[in-house]
C-alpha cells in the first residue's frame, strides 16, 4: 500500500488544497498576523482573589438601580419576568455602604425566568482602589438571588485584567423585602497576566 502511486485525481485535490490554503493565508495576512505573547509582555498567568460588597439600592432619593424597561406581562408575572434595570452600584470593602469604595458595578440586570426569581446579569466591575484602580472585569451570567451561592462567569477584563477569565461567587448579606435594597458579598477568582 505504501508504495502505491498516487492517483492523478488525488494529486489534483492535493494541489487545490495547497493553493486554497495559500490564498486564505494571504487573505488573513492582509489584516492579521500572529504575535508571540511576549510582544504584549504576557508572562506568567496569575490567579487573583477579590472580595467586596455590592450595594443594590432601589429606594430613597438616590437609587443606584433603576428599572428602565418591562414587558406588558411583567406586572402580573410572579417572577417579574421581563423587567430590566440599569445599575451603578457601589462596591465597598465591608458590608457598611460607607466603608472604602473599591469600585462600581455598572450595567444591566434582567428578570429572565418564568419559573423562579432569576436575573441575567451583564455588568462591569470597574475598580477604583489600589493597583487595580482603572482596571475592570466583565461579568455575564445567571443570578437566582434567593439561592445561597450564585456563580457567574468572568468573561473578560481590561487594564491589568486584560485576557481575564474566572468566576464570581455571590452571597446575599442583607436583603430588605420592603424596599428591595440588597447588600451582596462577592468573591471573585480571576486568572490574568
Termini Cα distance of the chain: 51
Q: Does 134 bind ligand NAG (CB under 6 A)?
A: yes
Binding test (CB under 6 A) with ligand NAG, winner from 24, 27, 75, 114? 75
The 150-189 site mask, x for binding ligand NAG (CB under 6 A), equals --------------------------x-xx----------
- CA-angle at 150, arms to 187 and 137, nearest 5°: 50
Angle, CA 63 vertex, CA 62 and CA 68 arms, to 5°: 130
> DSSP string covering 81-108, please?
TT-EEEEEEEEESSSSTTS-EEEEEEEE
Give the binding range for ligand NAG (CB under 6 A) out of 29-37, 83-91, 96-104, 159-167: 96-104
What is the size of the binding site for ligand NAG (CB under 6 A)?
12
Q: What is the dihedral of CA 21, 25, 158, 49, to 10 degrees?
A: 40
CB of 113 to ligand NAG, least distance (A): 19
Which residues contact ligand NAG (rule: CB under 6 A)?
A: 72, 75, 96-98, 128-129, 133-134, 176, 178-179
Amino acid at each position: 500500500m505504501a508504495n502505491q502511486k498516487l492517483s492523478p485525481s488525488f494529486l489534483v485535490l492535493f494541489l487545490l488544497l495547497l493553493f486554497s490554503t495559500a490564498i486564505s493565508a494571504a487573505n488573513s495576512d492582509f489584516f492579521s498576523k500572529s504575535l508571540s505573547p511576549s510582544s504584549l509582555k504576557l508572562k506568567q498567568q496569575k490567579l487573583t482573589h477579590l472580595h467586596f460588597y455590592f450595594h443594590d439600592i432601589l429606594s430613597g432619593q438616590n437609587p443606584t438601580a433603576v428599572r428602565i424597561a418591562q414587558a406588558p406581562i411583567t406586572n402580573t408575572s410572579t417572577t417579574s419576568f421581563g423587567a430590566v434595570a440599569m445599575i451603578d452600584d457601589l462596591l465597598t470593602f465591608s458590608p457598611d455602604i460607607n466603608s472604602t469604595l473599591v469600585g462600581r458595578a455598572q450595567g444591566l440586570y434582567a428578570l429572565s425566568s418564568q419559573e423562579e426569581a432569576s436575573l441575567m446579569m451583564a455588568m462591569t466591575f470597574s475598580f477604583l482602589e489600589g493597583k487595580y484602580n482603572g482596571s475592570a472585569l466583565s461579568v455575564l451570567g445567571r443570578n437566582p438571588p434567593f439561592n445561597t451561592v450564585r456563580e457567574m462567569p468572568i468573561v473578560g477584563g481590561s487594564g491589568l485584567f486584560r485576557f481575564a477569565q474566572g468566576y464570581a461567587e455571590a452571597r446575599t448579606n442583607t436583603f430588605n423585602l420592603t424596599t428591595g435594597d440588597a447588600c451582596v458579598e462577592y468573591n471573585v477568582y480571576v486568572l490574568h497576566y
